[in-house]
Amino acid sequence: MVISSFPRLCRLPRGSFFLLGVRGVGKSTWAAGRLPEAHRIDLLDERRHHEYLADAALFGSELAALAPGSWVIVDEVQRLPGLLNEVHRFIESRRLKFALLGSSARKLRVAGTNLLAGRAVRKHMHPLTVAEMGVAFDRKAALRFGTIPLVWGAEDRDAALDAYVQMYLREEIRAEALVRSLPGFVRFLPIAALFHGQTVSVSGIARDAGVARTTVDGYLEILEDTLLAHRLPAYEAKLRVRERKHPKLYWVDPGLVRAVKRQSGPVTAEEIGPLYEGFVLHLLRAHAEEHTLYDELTYWAPLKASRTEVDFLLRRGREFVAVEVKAGQRLISPMLQGLRAIAELPGLARRILVYSGDRSLCVEDGIDVWPLERLSEALAGGHLWP
């Protein structure tokens, strides 16, 4: 399967930009295809990395040889964030344009964001979406193996996922010295994977991993900075009931969740709900990169009704769209409980239930019931909002 043939949602900016995404998501392939004439600098090349590490002026000398206005691709820029000083200088002095690719935002948060504020936009590349894969999309395979191109295109996807986790620990965590105790972080990972789609219990993770609460806080931050996970906050408007404050944890890809938990084989009944929910979140976030899909994305769960919630609440201006996700293939009334409970939210423009069936429906109280593919069409066509 030729993964590079999939059209990506990501559009090329006119000027310099950061493009962040997990390893193997296709950043380098996309950049090479969109900027075939660009000068490329790959910091995974150890020889080149060591040369620049010893003498950053060499990087500037290489840029000085390029024609004004040229494009430059710098791959894995987070390995040497100090080079951004030269990037800044050549944007200003020679009008060079940079595609700065990275698999971690941790070292770039201060150096990159502050130094290049206003000179380089920040973009993300996500695992493959339904719209990008087209007829090649397979829902069961996507939930079992995920849709990271490096894994999806492998002959042995289970082996590729296992190797991916080891690569993450070796190249992102150990090589960049992101944690003091690698064994503690290794114990933490599968426990954190168990919380996929759930509210985060820092004390519970700390107890099960045998580390301090403050350490778990740092580990969760590392997962987010290395783009493997995302914490979804609770909606906090002042409604008639007080809202829950704890965020939910979602991993970026269902295949990674399973690999970190060391689960292989077909997806079990216990797994499918959180994996399906997380995949819908992936679609919402991926499509929001290129469209004004929402200003804020949260989940809704009143404290006094702990069993009643809505998975995703999108706010755009003063209007809201509520999206609930259920893995069942047949529509039954209990699936609509959360969407019915949120009906009185001021500004609520649409309520959508995404399920595993294959028919689009509209129930009596105005709730849209969509298959995953219908949601994908709405997102790709900009029709999520009424």
* pLDDT > 60? residue 111: no
Q: 275: pLDDT confidence band, cut at 50, 70 and 90?
A: very high
pLDDT band, residue 193 (cuts 50/70/90) = very high
User: Quick one: pLDDT band at residue 269, thresholds 50, 70, 90?
Assistant: very high
Residue 370 pLDDT = 97
> For the residues 144-161, what does the mean pLDDT come to?
96
Model confidence at 241, in pLDDT bands (50, 70, 90)? very low
> What pLDDT does residue 174 have?
73
| AA letter at 197 | G
Percent of the chain with pLDDT over 90: 74
Greater pLDDT, 107 or 235: 235
Provide the pLDDT for residue 238.
60
Give the β-pairing of 71-75 and 39-42: parallel
What is the per-residue pLDDT across 22-54, written as a single tens digit (0 to 9) for each?
999 999 999 999 999 999 999 999 999 999 999
pLDDT digits (tens, 9 = 90+) for 295-338: 999 999 876 655 689 999 999 999 999 999 999 999 999 999 99
Give the whole-angstrom CA distance, residue 40 versus residue 20. Answer: 17
Residue 132's pLDDT band, with cuts at 50, 70 and 90, is very high
The letter for the amino acid at 61 is S
Q: Is 39 helix (H, G, I), strand (E, B) or coil?
A: strand
Tell which wins on pLDDT, 245 or 370: 370
- What confidence score (pLDDT) does residue 115 get? 58
Domains of the chain and CATH, by start: 3-124 (3.40.50.300), 130-259 (1.10.10)
pLDDT at 13 over 60: yes
Continuous segment of H or E residues that includes residue 161: helix 157-167
Closest CA to 74 of 89, 59, 61, 64: 59
Tally of CB atoms within 10 A around 27: 26
Confidence check: pLDDT of 243 > 50: no
Weakest mean pLDDT among 158-162, 274-278, 302-306? 302-306
Q: What is the pLDDT of residue 3?
A: 56
Query: Coil, strand, or helix at residue 156?
Result: coil
Give the dihedral sign, CA 11/318/321/223: positive
Report how far residue 379's alpha carbon sits from residue 130's, in angstroms, rounded to the nearest whole number: 10
Q: Kindly indicate the confidence band of residue 244, based on its pLDDT and cuts at 50, 70 and 90.
A: low
Contact 80, 49 (CB under 8 A): yes
Give the residue, 324 or 121, on which the prediction is more confident. 324
Classify the C-alpha dihedral 290-198-130-157 as positive or negative. Answer: positive
Is the confidence at residue 112, as pLDDT, over 80?
no
Mean pLDDT, all residues of the chain: 90
* Helix runs in 172-312, H state only: 182-194, 202-209, 213-225, 254-260, 269-288
Q: How many of the other CB atoms lie within 10 Å of CB of 110? A: 10
C-alpha neighbours within 13 Å on the C-beta side of residue 176? 23
